[in-house]
């Protein structure tokens, strides 16, 4: 019998995009799965659309946008209560282009008891590859010392089938229920967005499971559909704060100290907003927003470093969901 998979799709005011995602899921040849939409306070009728057009889909409604980690954790709890064997995070701006996608990634998970998380190739609507596996440290953090980092566990298993990597992207992220029972859900301190899946992969490896990537299937992802609705300076601020949170929480202390100069310079990028898919720089939306985001970013980064240096591993700003 096929393992039971629950697909968790958080959404926020993207009715048409969500509808396209749910329509594409109907192409899936895997039979034993359920879909759970977690609506983060949408005001465009997304929840009612799902209930009317996809009556077999479960809907969890929030009164406000609670962010990616919180919404997924709500879905995790729902799925685990329903007896899930696997829980799969899926972005609402993805589209299924291979009917065997789910059977392929589940078969990877079933191939080895040590595999805790599985990801696959993510492509842009034009067919170009957005993601094909990554490993720590992320190149934008420590490009020179990457090969010395203790979490750099990249190794070939069977290149034609799967590879073990450190990190798979959260747009499609399959988790064994045993892993959720052992380490819990996403760290909600990363709310509303960025780096929560990378942090989870660190925890998976630390629990002595493996993170696997396969290029035997792919899913299409239209990046930035949610983030483009948020002030660009705020998004850059969130990225830098959670990047720092990820470093200070997971990296060795010496690496944390070495990262301080570069990280403290990074908020300068909040002066600009990167146009998705383009290296060009655009001015941010609002001078007031710019000033607020720069100040907030520096204050938060400073707090994170102080907490890390003091080795407050159980600090209040880490709200990891426990089993």
pLDDT tens string 152-161: 444 455 555 6
Domain-terminating residue out of 184, 202, 223 = 223
Residue 11: which of 35, 27, 33 has the closest Cα?
35
Strand partners, 8: 36, 89
Would you give per-residue pLDDT tens digits along the chain (323 residues)?
899 999 999 999 889 999 999 999 999 999 999 999 999 999 889 999 999 999 999 999 999 999 999 999 999 999 999 999 999 999 999 999 999 999 999 999 999 999 999 999 999 888 888 776 776 655 445 544 544 444 444 445 555 567 888 889 999 999 999 999 999 999 998 988 889 999 999 899 889 999 999 989 999 998 665 555 666 667 777 877 888 888 888 877 776 777 777 666 666 655 554 443 334 333 445 566 666 666 767 777 776 777 666 554 443 333 333 22
User: What is the DSSP-derived secondary structure letter of residue 267?
Assistant: G
Q: Which long-range contacts (CB under 8 A, 24 or more apart) does 282-290 make?
A: 282/232, 284/231, 284/232, 284/233, 284/236, 285/231, 285/232, 285/233, 286/231, 286/233, 289/231, 289/233, 289/234, 290/233
In a domain, 48, yes or no: yes
Domain co-membership, 92 together with 107 = yes
Whole-number Cα distances in Å, 243 to 59, 132, 149: 31, 21, 16
Domain co-membership, 111 together with 248 = no
Per DSSP, helices labelled H in the chain are 15-25, 46-53, 68-81, 101-110, 177-183, 196-206, 232-250, 253-265, 287-309
In CATH, what number is assigned to the domain containing residue 127?
3.90.550.10
Domain-terminating residue out of 193, 223, 253 = 223
In a domain, 27, yes or no: yes
CB 72 within 8 A of CB 43: no
In a domain, 143, yes or no: yes
Domain co-membership, 216 together with 273 = no
Domain co-membership, 39 together with 131 = yes
Strand pairing category for 155-158 and 172-176: unpaired
CB 46 within 8 A of CB 16: no
* Number of domains into which the chain is organized: 2
Domain co-membership, 40 together with 96 = yes
Residue 131: which of 197, 68, 80 has the closest Cα?
197
Domain residues for the domain of 293 are 230-309
What per-residue confidence (pLDDT) applies to 248?
80
Q: Which residues contact 167 (CB under 8 A, 6 or more apart)?
A: 134, 135, 136, 138, 197, 198, 201, 211
Q: How far apart are alpha carbons 77 and 290 in whole angstroms? A: 37
In a domain, 316, yes or no: no
Domain co-membership, 256 together with 186 = no
In a domain, 319, yes or no: no
Q: Which residues of 280-308 are buried (b: 16+ CB within 10 A; e: fewer)?
A: eeeebeeeebbebbbebbbebbebbbebb
Q: How far apart are alpha carbons 55 and 43 in whole angstroms? A: 20
Residues 253-272: pLDDT tens digits? 776 777 777 666 666 655 55
Domain co-membership, 259 together with 202 = no
Domain co-membership, 53 together with 112 = yes
Domain-terminating residue out of 189, 223, 257 = 223
């Amino acid at each position: 019998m096929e393992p039971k998979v629950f697909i968790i799709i958080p959404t926020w005011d993207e009715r048409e995009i969500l509808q396209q995602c749910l329509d594409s899921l109907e192409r899936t040849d895997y039979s034993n799965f359920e879909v759970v939409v977690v609506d983060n306070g949408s005001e465009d009728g997304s929840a009612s659309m799902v209930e009317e057009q996809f009556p077999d889909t479960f809907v969890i409604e929030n009164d406000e946008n609670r962010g990616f980690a919180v919404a997924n954790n709500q879905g995790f709890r729902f799925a685990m209560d329903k007896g899930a064997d696997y829980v799969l995070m899926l972005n609402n701006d993805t589209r299924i282009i291979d009917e065997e996608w789910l059977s392929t990634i589940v078969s990877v998970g079933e191939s080895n008891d040590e595999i805790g998380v599985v990801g696959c190739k993510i492509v842009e609507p034009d067919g170009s590859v957005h993601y094909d596996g990554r490993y720590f440290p992320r190149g934008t953090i420590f490009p020179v010392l990457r090969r010395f980092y203790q979490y750099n566990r990249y190794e070939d298993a069977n290149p034609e089938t799967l590879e073990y990597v450190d990190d798979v992207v959260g747009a499609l992220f399959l988790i064994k229920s045993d892993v959720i029972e052992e380490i819990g859900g996403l760290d909600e301190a990363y709310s509303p967005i960025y780096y929560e899946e990378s942090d989870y992969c660190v925890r998976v490896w630390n629990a002595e499971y493996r993170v696997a990537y396969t290029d035997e299937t792919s899913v299409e992802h239209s990046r930035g559909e949610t983030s483009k609705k948020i002030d660009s300076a705020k998004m850059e601020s969130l990225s830098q704060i959670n990047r720092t949170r990820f470093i200070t929480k997971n990296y060795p202390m010496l690496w944390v100290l070495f990262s301080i100069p570069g990280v403290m310079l990074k908020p300068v990028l909040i002066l600009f907003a990167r146009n998705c898919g383009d290296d060009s720089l655009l001015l941010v939306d609002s001078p007031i927003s710019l000033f607020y985001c720069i100040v907030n970013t520096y204050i938060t980064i400073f707090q994170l470093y102080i907490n890390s240096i003091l080795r407050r591993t159980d600090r209040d700003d880490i709200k990891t969901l426990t089993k």
